[in-house]
Amino acid sequence: MARYFDVHPQDPQPRLIDQVVALLRDDALIAYPTDSCYALGFEMGSRTGADRIRRLRQLDEHHHFTLVCSDFAQLGEFVQLSNAAFRSIKAVTPGPYTFILPATREVPKRLAHPRKRTVGVRLPQHAVVQALVRRLGKPLVSSTLLIPGEDEPMTDGWTIKDRFDSEIDAVLDSGGCGIEPTTVVDLSGGVPDLVRIGAGDPAPFE
């Protein structure tokens, strides 16, 4: 049965954040709100998180997982960041964007694209996510909570808990959440490639 956490959207309770972080460090898979829509997340050291998300979302091994980072210093540990890529990301973050970049050796092979060795990275503008990642001390590995056959991601914490009670370990609910996933930009080739138009304004990359 998934645990349910009612977290304040602007001033998340440290006690609750600590409890969620403890679950993540114990190999938990969580559902949590972001500045775009709900996402699934697990700690980088988890041996089961990636496979659990692939099963739940029916994804293959080529799916790009996203490392949700606390700041640029952390982001720079896990992806190769050119000056041009840094400027592009800096101009629109924090915000609802995911950027695909070459992974460094700090990224476990099971989390990177098997052929390209790329990974998604994200700097969200959401107080709960920021508090969670800061307390965790490392990126939260994530994927949009979009179920096969459905057009829109799920947006309600209690509905998510009811539906996936036996498949995830915790749900964080902080009220209203968006219904659009992030805008995805591939920067791995040097020139921005707009992969998906979502909540973030695509104009800077068109």
Instruction: Encode pLDDT of 45-100 as tens digits.
Output: 998 999 999 999 999 888 889 999 999 999 999 999 999 999 999 999 999 999 99
- The average pLDDT across 184-203 equals 95
**Does pLDDT of 151 surpass 90?**
no
Give the integer Cα–Cα distance in Å for 179 and 146. 10
Query: Tokens standing for 17?
Result: 């954040």
- Written out in words, the top-level CATH class of the domain with range 3-205 is alpha beta
DSSP of the chain: --EEEE--SSS--HHHHHHHHHHHHTT--EEE--SSS-EEEEETT-SSHHHHHHHHHT--TT---EEE-SSHHHHHHHB---HHHHHHHHHH-SSSEEEEEEB-TTS-GGGS-TTT-EEEEE----HHHHHHHHHHTSPEEEEE---TT-SS----HHHHHHHHTTT-SEEEE-S---SS--EEEE-TTSS-EEEE--SS--GGG-
Output the pLDDT for position 61.
84
- Judging by beta carbons within 10 Å of its beta carbon (0-12, 13-18, 19+), is residue 19 exposed, middle or buried? middle
**Does pLDDT of 152 surpass 80?**
no
**pLDDT bracket for residue 127 (50, 70, 90):** very high
- The average pLDDT across 160-165 equals 94
Q: Could you give phi then psi for residue 43, rounded to 5 degrees?
A: -75, 145
> Is residue 154 within 8 Å of residue 54, measured between CB atoms?
no
Q: Across-strand partners of 170? A: 3, 30
Domain ranges of the chain: 3-205
**Does pLDDT of 125 surpass 90?**
yes
pTM: 0.95
Count other Cβ atoms within 10 Å, centred on residue 114: 10
